[in-house]
């Protein structure tokens, strides 16, 4: 199947999709139903509006954040940690950010993985088992991973290739949920079974993502359908590149940079939206596939995993509207227009700059920027890298000055991740799925932590601020 063009399933899949297109009418094609819906939509606008002052009156931490934007504690974890302040003489002093996986500083972890090809796999072992592997047990771990990294022709044909989707995160969700039916023991939530399911999903998700992209190209863009199998002995990063590229070729630096990107996205302190989703859904006792699908849905959002796409859209706009990429005055003028909501998307945001937690620096951004520079040198794209660097410096200065932020403003990991993926030839459709491929290691570690330590369902409280009213029979309603 590797490197071959699939013909057998093509006609059937195309026929199924054509039938679906013919059977499903849009609302605009439904005549008077459209006018009825417009009426209902208008009625909706009259409700569900909560007075924002009530959040202050009842001291409700909206978005589970306090007045300073800090997350409200909702649980305990040993999986990962974030440090953004140092405690000096009893005072919190902003510091360069630090990220820890199972107590190990990610900077030290990546430094220790220098010259090693399976950095993401070693990081996954660390997150799942709480410690770095010994050489012999790491070989055992890789052996299990290689054995599980198969989807089977029937699953690829009947699930991945059907109902191709332009947004691959939806394709990931659908495929992950369907894997439930291929599992002989899907609802068993014992630690042993969840570990088995987690390792299967960690190894299968890269295949699902790349195959879904090829399916999208074939059925939505009318390109040839070529599926390459993963090769045993290759790392996750190497296999993604060889499965994605027509010739299957990649350089050592390309594989290393992608490996580093996967490591940096594997987990983030336990306080992010999708990881919280993992804990919430897992606490209900549901199956692993439902838990992971829910977390993928969370990560899909542009405020979370989809943020690097907004950064790339912004830079496309910058490249199109700034004539001299080395003229800092011109760059500053245009960035100020973005902040003033006069250009780009009118949001007033410079995407990729600022973080809810980090103050002086995001360690993931610092590391990825260094590798972005190395890759840019290999690709002959130092001019573009220099432009990113200028935008970063100028944007931080503008935002700090204009918004009088004293805790510090820094670029986050999304600022350079899209640039890196672009240099690697990874299409934008796979930017957020790559995040999921990495973060599923963290989700799996958190799910195991949840089911092994707690037997209470996560059940938050909401303060009711509406009115109690009497029931009125239909004939008396006005």
Q: What are the CB-based long-range contacts (under 8 Å, 24+) for 133-142?
A: 142/118
Written as six digits, the tokens of 103 are 């107590």
113/225 Cα distance (integer angstroms)? 36
Q: Please, is 207 exposed, middle or buried when counting C-beta atoms within 10 Å of its C-beta (0-12, 13-18, 19+)? A: buried
Which listed residue (355, 406, 446, 468) is catalytic?
355
Q: What are the CB-based long-range contacts (under 8 Å, 24+) for 245-251?
A: 245/425, 248/3, 251/378
Give the dihedral sign, CA 220/226/228/229.
Answer: positive
Reply yes or no on whether 355 is catalytic.
Answer: yes
CA dihedral 465, 466, 469, 471 (to 10 degrees): -120
Reply yes or no on whether 268 is catalytic.
Answer: no
160/210 Cα distance (integer angstroms)? 10
Which listed residue (414, 454, 455, 468) is catalytic?
414
Active-site positions read 355, 414
């Amino acid at each position: 199947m590797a490197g071959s063009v699939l013909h057998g399933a093509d006609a059937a899949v195309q026929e199924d999709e054509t039938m679906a297109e013919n059977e499903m009418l849009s609302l605009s094609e439904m005549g008077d139903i459209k006018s009825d819906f417009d009426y209902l939509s208008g009625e909706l606008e009259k409700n569900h509006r909560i007075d924002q002052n009530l959040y202050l009156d009842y001291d409700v931490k909206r978005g589970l954040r306090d007045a300073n934007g800090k997350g409200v504690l909702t649980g305990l974890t040993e999986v990962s940690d974030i440090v953004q302040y140092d405690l000096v003489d009893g005072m919190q002093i902003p510091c360069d950010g630090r990220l820890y996986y199972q107590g190990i500083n990610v900077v030290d972890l990546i430094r220790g993985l220098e010259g090693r090809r399976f950095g993401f796999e070693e990081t996954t072992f660390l997150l799942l088992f709480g410690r770095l592997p010994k050489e012999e047990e790491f070989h055992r771990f890789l052996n299990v991973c290689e054995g599980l990294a198969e989807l089977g022709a029937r699953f690829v044909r009947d699930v991945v290739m059907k109902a191709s989707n332009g947004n691959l995160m939806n394709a990931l969700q659908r495929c992950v949920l369907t894997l439930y039916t291929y599992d002989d023991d899907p609802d068993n939530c014992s630690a042993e079974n969840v570990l088995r399911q987690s390792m299967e999903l960690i190894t299968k998700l890269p295949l699902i993502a790349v195959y879904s992209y090829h399916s999208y190209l074939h059925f939505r863009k009318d390109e040839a359908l070529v599926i390459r199998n993963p090769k045993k002995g290759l790392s996750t990063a190497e296999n993604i590149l060889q499965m994605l590229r027509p010739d299957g070729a990649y350089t050592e630096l390309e594989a290393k940079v992608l490996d580093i990107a996967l490591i940096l996205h594997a987990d983030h302190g336990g306080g992010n939206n999708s990881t919280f989703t993992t804990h919430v859904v897992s606490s209900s006792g549901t199956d692993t596939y439902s838990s992971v699908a829910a977390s993928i849905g969370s990560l899909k959002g542009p405020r979370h995993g989809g943020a690097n796409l907004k950064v790339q859209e912004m830079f496309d706009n910058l490249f199109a509207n700034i004539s001299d990429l080395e003229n800092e005055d011109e760059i500053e003028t245009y960035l100020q227009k973005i902040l003033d909501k006069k250009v780009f998307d009118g949001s007033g945001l410079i995407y990729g700059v600022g973080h809810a937690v980090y103050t002086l620096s995001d360690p993931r951004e610092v590391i990825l920027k260094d590798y972005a520079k190395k890759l840019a040198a290999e690709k002959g794209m130092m001019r573009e890298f220099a432009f990113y660097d200028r935008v970063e410096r100028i944007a931080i200065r503008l935002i700090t000055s204009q918004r009088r932020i004293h805790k510090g403003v820094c670029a986050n990991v999304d600022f350079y991740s899209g640039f890196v993926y672009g240099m690697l030839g990874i299409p934008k459709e796979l930017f957020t799925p790559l995040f999921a491929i990495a973060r599923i290691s963290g989700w799996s570690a958190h799910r195991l932590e949840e089911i092994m330590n707690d037997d209470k369902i996560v059940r938050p409280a909401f303060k009711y601020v509406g009115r109690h009213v009497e029931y009125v029979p239909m004939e008396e309603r006005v």
